[in-house]
Chains A and B, each alone.
Chain A
Amino acid sequence: MPETADRKSAIGRTALLVALGFIVAQAAFFIGWIWLERSRSGIEIKVETASVDPRDIFRGQYLDLSYKFDSPSMYMSDGDAPNILPERGQTVYAALAEDWRFDVYRPVSYAPDPEVAKALASDRGEEKVVVIRGRVGARQNRFDFGVNRYFVPEGTKEPPVNADVNAILLVPMNMRPRLRGLEVDGKRWEPERFEVREE
C-alpha cells in the first residue's frame, strides 16, 4: 500500500467562492423544491386503501398503505378491460375511473403508455378517468406508485383497525400522484397525539 503524505494546503479565495456558489445553489435547490411541492396543483381524488399497516421505524412513524391499484392481479376480475403489463422495473400507467356511488376512484386498466391506458378505460365505457404513473416492482404483479407511506409525527394515535380508510391523492400534470391526506370513516383524518394515561 503506497504511503501518502498528509498535506494541508491553504484554500484560496477562488476556491472559497466556488464552494460558496455550490452551497447557495444547494440552498436554492431546497427552497425551489419546497416551493414546487407547496404550489403543486392537479386533480384531487379519493382512493380506497386495501390495508393500513401502522409501522414504527427508528426515525419517525408512518402508516404503510396499500391500494387496490398496487396489485392488479388481486383486484381485477376477468371481465375487466384487458391490461398490457410492462416488464418489471419499467414504467406503468394505471387508469382510475370514478365510482360515483362511493365517491372514490378505482383501477380500470393498466398499460405502459398513458394514452393506451386511457383508451382501454374508454373502451369499457368509463368517462371520468384519471391516469397515474408508477413502476413495476421486482415482481411483475406488484406496482409502486410512490404513495404507500403516510408520515405522521412520533406518538400519533393510529386510525382504528376496522375503520374504512381512503387516501386523498393529488394527481398533477406529470401523473405522479402525491399523498395529501387520509379520510377515516368518511371524515378527514388529522393526526392526534397518543395520550398516555396517568395512574
Chain B
Amino acid sequence: MASFRDELGQLLGEAVARAIVTPGQANQLIGLSDTIPAKHGAGFGRLAKALTLIGGFGVALGLILLFGANWWDISDIAKLAGFVVLFLALHLGGLWIRWKHPDYSGTAEAFNFVGAGLFLGGVALVALVFHINENPRNGILAWLLATLPLAFSLRSTSLFGMALVAALIWGPWKFTDFALVQGMDLEVNWGFAACVPFAMLAIAPFVERIKFSVGTMCHIVAGIMIAVALYLLGFLRHMGRYGFNSYIENPERFGVWMTALLCIGLFLALVSCLARRGPKRLIDNAYLALILGTAGLFMFAAAIISGWIDPGETVERFNFSGASMATFQAHSLIASGLAWLLWFFWGVWFVFAGSAWERNGLVTLGVYGVAFGLVTRYFDLIGSLQETGAYFVVGGIVLILAGWGAEKCRRRLTGKARSEEPRS
C-alpha cells in the first residue's frame, strides 16, 4: 500500500504537469509533509488501537482460563476479592491513561470496555458462589445501570454500545414479565423486538448532536437487528409449511401487538427521515424507500403468521438442498422472496452509499452482504436447479449493470470536479 508521501508525490506530479503548482512549490509541499508528525500515520494509529483491544480481550480471556483451571484450589473469598481487584485495576488503569496520556485514548478505551464487561462477569460470579438463581434480569439491569453513566461521563462509544446491548437484552426480557402478568402471550416480545430497530433509527439523528458517536451506534445496532430479521424471514416459507401454531401460542394476539408496535416504530423512523434538513439526495430517498419496504415486509409477515392474511394456495417447489419436492404456502413463499430481494437491495444500497460518502467500510459491508446472501440462497434452493440458475444469472446481470452504472456515475462526478476551477 502506498504511503501518504508517495500519494502526495503522485498528486503533485499531476498538479505540476497541469501547471497548477510550480515544481518548486511541489518540492516545498513534499518537504513540509516530511516534517509533520504521526498525524498521517493514521493507519498505524488504527493498528495500535486494534492491537490494544485484541490484547485486552486476550488478557481477560487468559485470566478467565487461569481462574477456571485453578477453580478448585481457590477459595470463594479469594475468587470474589480477585474479581474486585481486577475490576478496579482495569477501570482505574483506563482512567489513569486518559488523565496522564490522553494520546493513548484507544488503550484507555480498551481497559474501560473490558472493565465494564467484567461487571457482568462479577454479577455472574457472585450468583455462582452464593447459588443465586432468582431474577437474572436484575443482573442485566445492574449491568445496564453501571455501564450507561460511564459511557456518558467518558464519552465512550464502545461503552454506549455495550449499554445498548444490555438494554436490548433486558428490555424484551422484562417485557416478558409484564406480558405474563397482563395475561399476554410471550410472543409479544417479537413485536417489541421488531419495533426497536426502527425506533433506534428514528432517534439516531437527534442524538448525534451528542459529542460521541451515539447516533452511529444506534444505526449499527438497529442495522444488525434488521439484518437478522430479514435473514430469518428468508426462511419463512419453511416455517409456514405446517402452520405457525407450533411456534406461537396465540397467533392472532401476536399479530395485533406486532402490527401496533411496528406502526409506532415506522412512524418514528419516518418522522426522523423527514425532519432532517438539507436536500434529499437519491441515496437518502432510496434509504427511506428501503426502510418503508422493510417495515412493510415485517407487517406482511406478521399478518401471515397471525392468520389475518390467508396462507394462500399450496405450491410445490424443491425443498431445502433441492433433494425433494415439498409444498409451501404461497403467501409465506412470497414473503420469503421479498425478504431475499430486500436483502440484496440493502447490500447494493450500502455499496452506493459507501461510494457516495467515500466510506470504504460501507462498500465492503455491502459487498459482503450481497455475497453472504448469494451463498445462502445457493444452499436454500427455491426451485429446480434450472430455475435457481436462471435467478442467479439474472441477478448477476443486474449487479453487473449496477456496477457499470456506478462507474459511469463516478466518472461523471470526477469529471465535474476536474472541470471546476480550483479555489485561490
Q: Which residues of A contact B (CB under 8 A)?
A: 1-4, 6-11, 13, 15-16, 18-20, 22-23, 26-27, 29-31, 33-34, 37, 59-60, 87-90, 135, 138, 144-151, 153-155, 176, 178-180, 193
Point out the residues of chain B lying under 8 angstroms from A10, CB to CB.
Answer: 102
The complex places the Cα of A10 from the Cα of B180 at a distance, in Å, of 47
* Chain A residue with Cβ nearest B119: A26
Point out the residues of chain B lying under 8 angstroms from A87, CB to CB.
Answer: 181, 183
B211 at the interface (CB under 8 A from A): yes
Point out the residues of chain A lying under 8 angstroms from B243, CB to CB.
Answer: none
* Chain A residue with Cβ nearest B130: A37
Of B3-11, B80-88, B257-265, B389-397, the one touching chain A: B80-88
Q: Is the CB of B134 within 8 A of A144?
A: yes
B205 at the interface (CB under 8 A from A): yes
The complex places the Cα of A9 from the Cα of B157 at a distance, in Å, of 12
Give chain A nearest CB distance to B175 CB in angstroms: 11
B44 at the interface (CB under 8 A from A): no
Q: Is the CB of B71 within 8 A of A154?
A: yes
Q: Is the CB of A146 within 8 A of B102?
A: no
Q: Is the CB of B211 within 8 A of A9?
A: yes
The 3 closest A-B pairs by CB, nearest first: A146-B134, A89-B180, A179-B131
- Which of A3, A19, A154 makes the CB contact (< 8 A) with B154? A19
Point out the residues of chain B lying under 8 angstroms from A149, CB to CB.
Answer: 131, 133
B126 at the interface (CB under 8 A from A): yes
Point out the residues of chain A lying under 8 angstroms from B142, CB to CB.
Answer: 29
Asked if A15 meets B153 with Cβ closer than 8 Å, knowing A34-B80, A87-B181, the reply is yes
Q: Which residues of B contact A (CB under 8 A)?
A: 68, 71-72, 80, 83-84, 87-88, 91-92, 95, 98-99, 102, 105, 115, 119, 122, 124, 126, 128-135, 142, 146, 149-150, 153-155, 177, 179-181, 183, 186, 204-205, 208, 211-213, 215-216, 219, 276, 284, 287, 353, 357
* Chain A residue with Cβ nearest B357: A3
Q: List 16 A-B contacts (CB under 8 A).
A: A4-B215, A4-B216, A13-B99, A16-B98, A19-B95, A20-B92, A22-B146, A22-B149, A33-B126, A59-B124, A87-B181, A149-B133, A150-B131, A151-B128, A155-B72, A193-B72
Give chain B nearest CB distance to A57 CB in angstroms: 11
The complex places the Cα of A147 from the Cα of B68 at a distance, in Å, of 24
Asked if A138 meets B153 with Cβ closer than 8 Å, knowing A6-B213, A7-B212, the reply is no
Asked if A138 meets B181 with Cβ closer than 8 Å, knowing A4-B215, A11-B154, A144-B134, the reply is no
Q: Is the CB of A11 within 8 A of B102?
A: yes
Q: Is the CB of B186 within 8 A of A138?
A: yes
- Which of B83, B98, B208 makes the CB contact (< 8 A) with A2? B208
Q: Is the CB of B128 within 8 A of A15?
A: no
Point out the residues of chain A lying under 8 angstroms from B83, CB to CB.
Answer: 30
